[in-house]
Amino acid sequence: MSGAGDSEIRELYRSTILDHARTPRRFGRMKNPTHTAQGINSLCGDKLEIYLTVQADKIVDVSFDGTGCAISLASASMMSDRVIGQSIIEAMSDIELVGDSLNGSSSATLPGSLEALKGVREYPSRVKCATLAWHALGAAIESDGSVATTE
């Protein structure tokens, strides 16, 4: 990252990640979810469980539980804020967009506060931390019982 816009993204990254890591939204086990999945990042030990309530192909409730680094927890918090109320198709599109953006294969602007996640690209070893919740969300939507990993 270089240039004036990059310093703004860095500051947005720092403040947003810290805010969501210190006070994660929708953190906790959901009672009676319709979909769940576990996500594991074996490189740094992050473990998340994603809980969804899906009705008529729409995510009507979402929460997560687990342990992880600040980036992992913040990304899960941001993900849960973003996908509530979305259709399954919209959520799957966001999963792809975030993954492509953080892996550098897309320069598209991420919606809302998710743009702050682009700051993680400065730390390639942390990209897996930021994408873990999104991988787990995809596994929960697919309901195939697999454990999502960042490998």
pLDDT tens series, the chain, 151 aa: 444 456 765 666 778 888 888 989 999 999 999 999 999 998 889 999 999 999 999 999 999 999 999 999 999 999 999 999 999 999 999 999 999 999 988 888 888 888 888 888 888 889 999 999 999 999 999 986 667 777 6
Residues 84 and 2: their CA atoms lie apart, in Å, by 34
pLDDT, position 75: 95
pLDDT, position 108: 84
Alpha helices in the chain (DSSP H): 4-22, 70-83, 88-102, 127-142
Q: What global pTM score does this model have?
A: 0.88
94, two tokens: 């966001």
Minimal CA–CA distance to 134: which of 34, 39, 24?
39
132, two tokens: 């873990």
Residues 64 and 102: their CA atoms lie apart, in Å, by 21
Q: Tell me the residue type at 9.
A: I
pLDDT, position 113: 85
Query: What's the CA angle centered on 93, arms 45 and 121, to 5 degrees?
Result: 45
133, two tokens: 């919740």
pLDDT, position 88: 97
CATH topology of domain 4-149: Sufe protein. Chain: A (3.90.1010)
Contact 71, 122 (CB under 8 A): no
**The dihedral sign for the CA sequence 67, 72, 74, 75:** negative
DSSP 31: S
β-partners of residue 52 are 35, 62
CA distances to 3, 87, 129 from 74, rounded to whole Å, are 25, 22, 10
